[in-house]
Amino acid sequence: MDSTTATDLWDRLAGSQSGPSVWTVVGTGLVALAMILPPRVWRVTRNAITIAHEGGHGLVALLSGRTLDGIRLHSDTSGLTVSRGRPTGFGMVLTAAAGYPAPSLLGLAGAWALSTGHVTALLWVAAALLAAMLVMIRNAYGALTVVLTGAAFVLVSWLAGPEVRAAFAYGVVWFLLLGGVRPSFELQRKRRFGAAADSDADQLGRLTGVTPVLWLLFFHVVALAALLAGGNLLLRG
């Protein structure tokens, strides 16, 4: 690769671009909402939220000094992240607490990146994170899901024009912010009917002695706060 090509690639990655029109920002938000509210559509699109959820568990497990054994993503949109280390303690608490907030916090980080005009960088970073996650996937469905998702980011960032890249990036960030809200309410409903005895909230309750209801409240607060802050960044940007 000659220096000119390398410079062009760096400029494309690190450079910023002006934000899209307010109609594009609002429109991509409405499209994201349409991918979340209908139950039949959500059963498919929720896979993307599961990727972020399990990726959050895995990343925090590594950062807290645990050994990450693998991640599984299932066709019913459930997932499982397995790590080794002390079965109790601060690292285990952080790992268990990371899943539900992960999509919302990723969306908030993405909203900040878009507000500064770094559309292409956002897409490339997302593709890199998915590639890193792929190494730890331990089932075929999970691998296929991550590969297809990563391929979408790569193709759009490489082949699409600035307007399409921006619309895609804004749609993804809106989806993470809005989609990050729904799972904690779904968990709350399942727990009400006794169908989630081993949920993240219940595991955290056993690890910390704090009632799972408060952990559910924590998940709600993080998701809603990220949606408000991230939505404000997107609309103002």
Taking the C-alpha atoms of residue 39 and residue 41, their distance in angstroms, rounded to an integer, is 6
| More confident site: 56 or 237 | 56
Q: Are 146 and 134 in contact (CB under 8 A)?
A: yes
Q: Which two tokens stand for residue 99?
A: 């899943």
pLDDT digits (tens, 9 = 90+) for 69-83: 999 999 999 999 999
- Residue 69 host element (H or E): strand 67-73
Indicate whether 42 pLDDT > 70.
Answer: yes
CB contact set of 220 (below 8 Å; sequence gap of 6+): 184, 185
The pLDDT confidence band at residue 7, using thresholds 50, 70 and 90, is low
Residue type, 211: T
Q: What band does 11 get if pLDDT is binned at 50, 70 and 90?
A: low
Answer yes or no: is pLDDT of 89 > 70: yes
Q: Is 36 helix (H, G, I), strand (E, B) or coil?
A: coil
Q: Is 188 helix (H, G, I), strand (E, B) or coil?
A: helix
Query: Residue 19 — very low, low, confident or very high, per pLDDT cuts 50/70/90?
Result: confident
Q: What does the pLDDT average to over 22-28?
A: 95
Question: Contacts by 34-42 with C-beta closer than 8 Å and gap 24+?
Answer: 35/175, 35/179, 36/175, 36/178, 36/179, 36/182, 42/182
pLDDT at 127: 96
The confidence score (pLDDT) of residue 14 equals 62
Q: What is the pLDDT of residue 25?
A: 95
**pLDDT (tens digit, 9 = 90+) per residue, 193-223?**
888 878 999 999 999 999 999 999 999 999 9
Amino acid at 80: L
pLDDT at 18 over 80: no
Q: Is the pLDDT of residue 41 over 70?
A: yes
Q: How far apart are CA 154 and CA 147, in angstroms?
A: 10
- Domain residue extents for the chain: 19-236
Nearest to 95 by CA among 136, 52, 62, 132: 62
What is residue 8's predicted lDDT score, i.e. its pLDDT? 56
- Spatial separation of the C-alpha atoms in residues 154 and 134, rounded to whole Å: 15
CA–CA distance, 21 with 12 (Å, rounded to integer): 21
The pTM for the full model equals 0.93
The position carrying tokens 């599961």 is 50
Average pLDDT over residues 170-177: 98
* Mean pLDDT rounded to a whole number for the chain: 93
Q: Amino acid identity of 153?
A: F
Residues forming a β-bridge with 80: 72
Say what percent of the chain tops pLDDT 90.
Answer: 85
173: exposed, middle or buried (Cβ count in 10 Å: 0-12, 13-18, 19+): buried
Predicted confidence (pLDDT) per residue in 126-152, tens digit: 999 999 999 999 999 999 999 999 999
Residues 223 and 184 sit within 8 Å (Cβ to Cβ): yes
Maximum Cα–Cα distance across the chain: 62
For residue 1, pLDDT over 80 is answered with no
